[in-house]
């Protein structure tokens, strides 16, 4: 018998995301319906990693462990991967939510000095310890709903020191919390008040000072560490934020300094951000609410993953959502994310995102689950470690409270995670 640490058994429906005959890399087009489902299954865990997964009768003949966890016939899925969040911030914008309900638009509030600028002011005033304290409950809610790995952006500092402060928060949080965080530098989130009317000068500051210092700080924070996490650079490429050429300048400079690339595109108006993401080989292009058909087709032919954030138009009370159905039908790769942030989408639940994606983007439940796990892992460069239940990957699992994974899309408004396992350790409840 092969020894292990833990065996999760009596799984009614095991969703592995693996399968013979599938193309390597992100799941695309019709392949997004392939779940690698195994009935009456078990998962073997050793050293925080998946050792084996398969039919329970086969597992029992080959493996043994001092601890067995009975899944009670329920479905087991990979831990959710959330590839787009603005996790570390201070304060809230409840007053602006009320303004929007009264008819003000997001861009009108932003132009009047609210929006991102309001959160920037609160985050600048807060200490690292205060931001950590405000962020930990958000992590708790993410984990409780099944998210085991997430991307986390800076972008509420907009000075070199305050962006580094947010980066320090992102590095500090996993030291006291099970959830793994992947950092993204988003100094180009908005032009700060002190540079109003001088966005090109602020872009120069990002390139000249912020990019090298943020990179150096991240390497310092992880010197000698066991995990070699990627570091991303993102830009809000949008009318009222950064235009296409400003975005290009920042991203090209970031690429030369070893950053992987992401891009906010087509959230409110298309200004060529999607073709730019494809041209620069960005790992992902995110939002894609107003993407023209020709740009969507270009994205589908590329290696860049489209990340849809249906909680954001829902949070804004809008009727237009990412054309996720169309991107998949064109043969593209789609991921889902929460866009967790204080202005437009304070939502920690990937389960709710799946429910929205099926209703408003017309994804099938299988496609939405692939988008929230395996493809989301590809969207943060970690598909070799998370996003599926395969030998050698981190043992990140969610035991659902039902025997059918489709309940994740069918039901909404509650929490369907009965147990969450992170790196082989039950961490919730």
Bridge partners (DSSP) of residue 75 are: 13
- The C-alpha atoms of residue 160 and residue 201 are separated, in whole angstroms, by 14
- What's residue 22's pLDDT? 76
- The C-alpha atoms of residue 256 and residue 63 are separated, in whole angstroms, by 47
Please indicate, yes or no, whether residues 92 and 36 belong to a single structural domain of this protein. Answer: no
Model confidence at 112, pLDDT cuts 50, 70, 90, reads: confident
Please indicate, yes or no, whether residues 114 and 252 belong to a single structural domain of this protein. Answer: yes
pLDDT at residue 38 greater than cutoff 90: yes
Last residue of a domain, one of 378, 399, 416: 378
Please indicate, yes or no, whether residues 417 and 391 belong to a single structural domain of this protein. Answer: yes
- The C-alpha atoms of residue 326 and residue 297 are separated, in whole angstroms, by 9
pLDDT at residue 157 greater than cutoff 90: yes
- The C-alpha atoms of residue 364 and residue 357 are separated, in whole angstroms, by 9
**Sign of the CA dihedral with 400 first, then 141, 361, and 33 last:** negative
Please indicate, yes or no, whether residues 175 and 257 belong to a single structural domain of this protein. Answer: yes
- The C-alpha atoms of residue 148 and residue 428 are separated, in whole angstroms, by 11
- The C-alpha atoms of residue 234 and residue 272 are separated, in whole angstroms, by 15
The answer to whether the CB of 121 falls within 8 A of the CB of 162 is: no
Question: What is the average per-residue pLDDT within 2-6?
Answer: 98
pLDDT at residue 226 greater than cutoff 70: no
Please indicate, yes or no, whether residues 288 and 400 belong to a single structural domain of this protein. Answer: no
CATH number for the domain including 396?
2.30.40.10
Integer CA distances (angstroms), 13 to 177, 404, 420, in order: 29, 7, 16
Last residue of a domain, one of 336, 359, 378: 378
Please indicate, yes or no, whether residues 68 and 169 belong to a single structural domain of this protein. Answer: no
**What is residue 195's DSSP assignment?**
G
Please indicate, yes or no, whether residues 45 and 103 belong to a single structural domain of this protein. Answer: no
* Residue 399: domain span: 2-79+387-428
- What's residue 225's pLDDT? 65
Ordered DSSP codes for 1-59: -EE-SEEEEEEEEEE----TTPPSSS--GGGGG---EEEEEEEEEETTEEEEEEEHHHH
CATH number for the domain including 291?
3.20.20.140
What would the pLDDT profile of 264-320 be if each residue is shown by its tens digit? Answer: 999 999 999 999 999 999 999 999 999 999 999 999 999 999 999 999 999 999 999
Model confidence at 224, pLDDT cuts 50, 70, 90, reads: low
- The C-alpha atoms of residue 135 and residue 128 are separated, in whole angstroms, by 11
Please indicate, yes or no, whether residues 398 and 348 belong to a single structural domain of this protein. Answer: no
- What's residue 366's pLDDT? 98
When divided into structural domains, the chain yields a total of: 2
Question: What is the average per-residue pLDDT within 335-340?
Answer: 98
Please indicate, yes or no, whether residues 208 and 91 belong to a single structural domain of this protein. Answer: yes
Please indicate, yes or no, whether residues 217 and 313 belong to a single structural domain of this protein. Answer: yes
Please indicate, yes or no, whether residues 44 and 191 belong to a single structural domain of this protein. Answer: no
Please indicate, yes or no, whether residues 225 and 353 belong to a single structural domain of this protein. Answer: yes
Q: Does the pTM of the predicted model rise above 0.95? A: yes
């Amino acid at each position: 018998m092969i020894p292990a640490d833990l065996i999760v058994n009596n799984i009614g429906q095991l969703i592995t995301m693996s399968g013979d005959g599938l193309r390597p890399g992100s799941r695309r087009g019709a392949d997004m319906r392939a779940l690698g489902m195994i009935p009456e299954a078990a998962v073997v865990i050793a050293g925080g990693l998946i050792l084996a997964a398969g039919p329970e009768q086969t597992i029992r003949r080959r493996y043994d462990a001092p601890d067995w966890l009975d899944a009670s016939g329920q479905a087991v899925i990979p831990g959710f991967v959330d590839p787009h969040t603005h996790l570390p911030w201070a304060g809230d914008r409840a007053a602006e939510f009320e303004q929007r309900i009264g008819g003000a638009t997001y861009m009108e509030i932003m132009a009047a000095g609210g929006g991102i600028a309001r959160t920037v002011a609160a985050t600048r005033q807060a200490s690292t310890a205060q931001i950590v304290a405000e962020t930990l409950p958000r992590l708790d809610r993410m984990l409780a709903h099944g998210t085991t790995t997430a991307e986390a952006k800076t972008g509420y500092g907009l000075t070199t020191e305050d962006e580094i402060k947010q980066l320090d928060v992102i590095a500090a949080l996993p030291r006291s919390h099970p959830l793994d965080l992947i950092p993204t530098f988003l100094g180009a989130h908005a032009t700060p008040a002190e540079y109003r009317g001088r966005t090109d000068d602020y872009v120069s500051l990002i390139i000249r000072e912020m990019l090298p210092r943020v990179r150096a700080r991240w390497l310092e924070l992880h010197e000698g560490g066991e995990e070699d996490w990627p570091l991303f650079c993102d830009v809000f490429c949008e009318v009222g934020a950064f235009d296409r050429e400003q975005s290009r300048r920042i991203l090209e400079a970031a690429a030369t300094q070893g950053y992987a690339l992401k891009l906010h595109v087509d959230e409110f108006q298309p200004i060529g951000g999607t073709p730019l993401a494809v041209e620069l080989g960005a790992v992902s292009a995110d939002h894609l609410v107003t993407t023209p058909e020709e740009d969507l087709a270009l994205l589908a032919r590329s290696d860049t993953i489209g990340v849809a954030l249906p909680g954001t138009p829902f949070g804004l009370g809008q009727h237009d959502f990412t054309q996720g159905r169309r991107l998949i039908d064109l043969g593209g790769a789609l991921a889902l994310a929460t866009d967790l942030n204080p202005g437009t989408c304070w939502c920690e639940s990937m389960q709710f995102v799946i429910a929205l994606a099926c209703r408003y983007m017309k994804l099938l439940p299988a496609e939405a689950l692939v988008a929230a796990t395996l493809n989301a892992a590809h969207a943060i460069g970690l598909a070799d470690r998370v996003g599926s239940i395969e030998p050698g990957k981190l043992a990140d699992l969610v035991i659902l409270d039902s025997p059918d994974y489709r309940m994740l899309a069918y039901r909404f408004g509650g929490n369907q995670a009965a147990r969450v396992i992170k790196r082989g350790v039950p961490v919730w409840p």
